[in-house]
Each structure stands twice: as structure tokens, then as C-alpha cells.
């Protein structure tokens, strides 16, 4: 079964042309999809899209770049976390922030999510980038939560050993994975081969919105193939590994009972 642990059906650049195509494709091909949000409005969107297919599960998050706009709304965030199925996308990334005013508020906002994840035992999809991979990892370790996914980990490959030891999951994939150049292939191979087989999971992240758009059912098997080649195994084994790892990650979480039933079929 295909399980995409990180997909944006809507973000700041909402696309009303391709999104319905993606949702129809997800439903028809039974692709369990964790719809990530970017801010509160996109989370409201994800909640709506999840009504359009039983395979779509919304995650609540506010990206660090939006932290300035949310600096007075941490209570509202904490409340939404309590009712959320999962958290994502959240994180810490100063270098790529268009709104530099977000910088002093990124960590305080992230900590609201980390506290909620610890309190309610929630899965988290985390974005640590721009040289903050180590700091993000250290902050994460200071909380008592194992259900963390470091999404498209971008730090040094050597650090993955420590991530493995902590039992944190790492996700990889992209809608452009079959179009990587040699340098990009090397970059991903150096990291993907370091992740422990019990901790690697698969994601699409962002679908292309231009004429290059391809639906999840076309993109996902290409990702399986690329990762299988890198790890010198088969796409079937990568698909099975992803399913095993996701099932272990969701564990006996009562909020994710519906998802577990679908995955167990
Ligand atoms: Zn994302």
C-alpha cells in the first residue's frame, strides 16, 4: 500500500486546478496521505479535503516562517494541537525565512507544538533547515517524544547515526525524485542509505503545479524505485518497509484507529 507521510494539498499558493485532481487520484488509488498544513487557514483546508477522501488525514502545523503573524496566537495553536490527529508541518528554519521578523518567534512557537506532542503523544512532521539541523535535533531530544519525523533531513550524513539512536523517523521523497541530477542524487543517496531500515519513511511533499503536474499515483512509485536503487533493494521492499514503519509509528494511538484499519487491510 502507498503511504505518503507528507503532502501539501494547499499552502500559501493554493492551487484549485490541480488539487481536485490530486484528491481524486489519492482516493481512486487508495493512497494513505498525511496532508500537512502551513498555517491555520491551510489546516482548515486540510480538514475539508479529508472529508473528500477517507485516505486523507490532516496534520496541524504552522511553519516557522509564519511565526511573526502567530506570535500572539500561541494559545489558539495549543488548543488546535489538542484536537489534531497529528502535527505538521512545524520546525525551525531562519535562513529560508522570507519574513525575517519571524526569527525571534520561531523557537517559542515550535515549543508550543513540542509540548503538545509530548502531552498528547502526537506524531510530528518536522522541518529543520538552513544549518539548524543540529540545533533542531537537540531541541527535539530535550522533549519526551519519540514520534518525530525529521522530514527531508538536510544536515550532515554522519549525524543520521545519532538520529537513528534516538529512534526518530526520517522521510524522503519528492515529486521531482526521478529528475535529480548527479549531484542531487549523490546528496540524497548519502543520506537515504544512512537511515536505519526501521526508521525510513516516504513522502511526496509538494506536487508540481505547472504543466509538469503528475498525480500522487504516478509520483509515488517513481520515488520507491529511486530509493530502492539507492539502497540496493526492490521497490516492493521499500513499499513494505514504509508500511511497517508507519504502522509502528502510529502504534495504538486511538486517534489513528481509522488509519490503522485501512493499513491493516
Ligand atoms: Zn512540506
**Can you spell out the DSSP letters for 26-81?**
HHHTT-EEEE--SSHHHHHHHHHHTTT-TTEEE-B---GGGTTTTTT-HHHHHHHH
Q: Which CATH architecture has domain 3-264?
A: Alpha-Beta Barrel (3.20)
- Give residue 236 CA to ligand 1 midpoint distance, Å: 25
Predicted local confidence at residue 12, as pLDDT:
58
User: Would you list the domain boundaries of the chain?
Assistant: 3-264
C-alpha cell at 237: 521492499
Q: How many CA atoms lie within 13 A of 65 on its CB side?
A: 14
- Give residue 127 CA to ligand 1 midpoint distance, Å: 7
- Give residue 232 CA to ligand 1 midpoint distance, Å: 27
Per-residue pLDDT of the chain (265 residues; tens, 9 = 90+): 999 999 999 765 567 888 999 999 999 999 999 999 999 999 999 999 999 999 999 999 999 999 999 999 999 999 999 999 999 999 999 999 999 999 999 999 999 999 999 999 999 999 999 999 999 999 999 999 989 999 999 999 999 999 999 999 999 999 999 999 999 999 999 999 999 999 999 999 999 888 889 999 999 999 999 999 999 999 999 999 999 999 999 999 999 999 999 998 8
CA distances from 69 to 13, 19, 129 (A): 17, 26, 20
Predicted local confidence at residue 113, as pLDDT:
98
- Give residue 8 CA to ligand 1 midpoint distance, Å: 6
Cβ within 8 Å of residue 206, ≥6 positions away = 7, 8, 11, 174, 175
Predicted local confidence at residue 121, as pLDDT:
96
Residue from 173, 169, 158, 159 nearest 197 by CA: 169
Q: Cα separation of 215 and 255, whole Å?
A: 28
Q: Cα separation of 258 and 265, whole Å?
A: 11
- Give residue 34 CA to ligand 1 midpoint distance, Å: 11
Upstream peptide bond of 89 is cis (omega within 30 degrees of 0): yes
- Give residue 252 CA to ligand 1 midpoint distance, Å: 26
C-alpha cell at 243: 508500511
- Give residue 80 CA to ligand 1 midpoint distance, Å: 19
- Give residue 202 CA to ligand 1 midpoint distance, Å: 12
Q: How many CA atoms lie within 13 A of 148 on its CB side?
A: 30
Amino acid at each position: 500500500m502507498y503511504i505518503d507521510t507528507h503532502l501539501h494539498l494547499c499552502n500559501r499558493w493554493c492551487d484549485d486546478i490541480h488539487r481536485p485532481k490530486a484528491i481524486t487520484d489519492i482516493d481512486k488509488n487508495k493512497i494513505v496521505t498525511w496532508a500537512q498544513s502551513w498555517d491555520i487557514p491551510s489546516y482548515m483546508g486540510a480538514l475539508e479535503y479529508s472529508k473528500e477522501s477517507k485516505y486523507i488525514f490532516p496534520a496541524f502545523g504552522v511553519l516557522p516562517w509564519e511565526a511573526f503573524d502567530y506570535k500572539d496566537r500561541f494559545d489558539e495553536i495549543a488548543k488546535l494541537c489538542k484536537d489534531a490527529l497529528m502535527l505538521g508541518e512545524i520546525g525551525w528554519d531562519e535562513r529560508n525565512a522570507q519574513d525575517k521578523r519571524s526569527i525571534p518567534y520561531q523557537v517559542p512557537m515550535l515549543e508550543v507544538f513540542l509540548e503538545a506532542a509530548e502531552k498528547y503523544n502526537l506524531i510530528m512532521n518536522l522541518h529543520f533547515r538552513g544549518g539548524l539541523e543540529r540545533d533542531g535535533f537537540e531541541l527535539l531530544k530535550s522533549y519526551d517524544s519519540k514520534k518525530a519525523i525529521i522530514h527531508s533531513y538536510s544536515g550532515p550524513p554522519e549525524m543520521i547515526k545519532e538520529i537513528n539512536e534516538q529512534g526518530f523517523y526520517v522521510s524522503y521523497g519528492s515529486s521531482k525524485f526521478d529528475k535529480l541530477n548527479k549531484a542531487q542524487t549523490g546528496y540524497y543517496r548519502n543520506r537515504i542509505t544512512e537511515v536505519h531500515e526501521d526508521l525510513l519513511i516516504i513522502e511526496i511533499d509538494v506536487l508540481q503545479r505547472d504543466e509538469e503536474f503528475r498525480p500522487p499515483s504516478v509520483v509515488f512509485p517513481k520515488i520507491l524505485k529511486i530509493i530502492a536503487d539507492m539502497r540496493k533493494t526492490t521497490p516492493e521492499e521499500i513499499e513494505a518497509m514504509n508500511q511497517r514503519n508507519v504502522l509502528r509509528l502510529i502504534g495504538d494511538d486511538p486517534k489513528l484507529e481509522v488509519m490503522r484499519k485501512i493499513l491493516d487491510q
